């Protein structure tokens, strides 16, 4: 099994729908992150969590919310999806500083 698992891998949804992207990890890391990738923009941070009781906004959190259900699980929700949220979404985990991140395989979300 992958260290960081994202579900679903692909999703097409309609404008205005609520959608949840899920992430689970077996690395035992406290720190978890959600990024979105857009062509030419690299990866931008949506939300991050340094432990179960800690949730922080990233640079592009508007229109998104998260839930840290356990050390191993970190979900991203789009409350009312809009077409410009069409992107590739990555979950990542890390140990404490300096060790780099472990990424999931991504969720490709299309909002029509």
Measuring CA to CA, which residue among 31, 11, 7 is closest to residue 96?
A: 31
Query: 101, 43 in Cβ contact below 8 A?
Result: no
Query: 82, 111 in Cβ contact below 8 A?
Result: yes
Show the site string, 15-44: x = touches another protein by CB under 8 A, - = not. ------------------x-x----xxxxx
Return the residues of window 42-101 that contact another protein according to CB under 8 A: 42-45, 48, 50, 56, 58, 90, 92, 94, 97-98, 100-101
Measuring CA to CA, which residue among 57, 46, 50, 51 is closest to residue 21?
A: 46
Minimum gap (Å) between residue 29 Cβ and another protein: 13
Which residue's CB is nearer to another protein, number 4 or number 78?
4
Q: Looking at 25, 106, 109, 111, which residue binds another protein (CB under 8 A)?
A: 106
With binding defined as CB under 8 A, does residue 1 bind another protein? no
Determine how many CB atoms are found less than 10 A away from the CB of residue 86. Answer: 16
């Amino acid at each position: 099994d992958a260290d960081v698992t994202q579900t679903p891998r692909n999703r097409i949804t309609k404008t205005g729908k609520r959608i949840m992207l899920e992430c689970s990890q077996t690395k035992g890391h406290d720190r978890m992150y959600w990024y979105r990738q857009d062509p030419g923009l690299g990866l931008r941070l949506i939300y991050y969590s340094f432990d179960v009781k800690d949730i922080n906004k990233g640079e592009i959190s508007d229109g998104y919310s998260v839930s840290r259900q356990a050390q191993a699980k970190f979900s991203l929700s789009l409350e009312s999806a809009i077409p410009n949220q069409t992107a590739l979404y990555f979950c990542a985990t890390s140990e404490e500083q300096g060790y780099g991140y472990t990424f999931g395989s991504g969720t490709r979300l299309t909002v029509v």
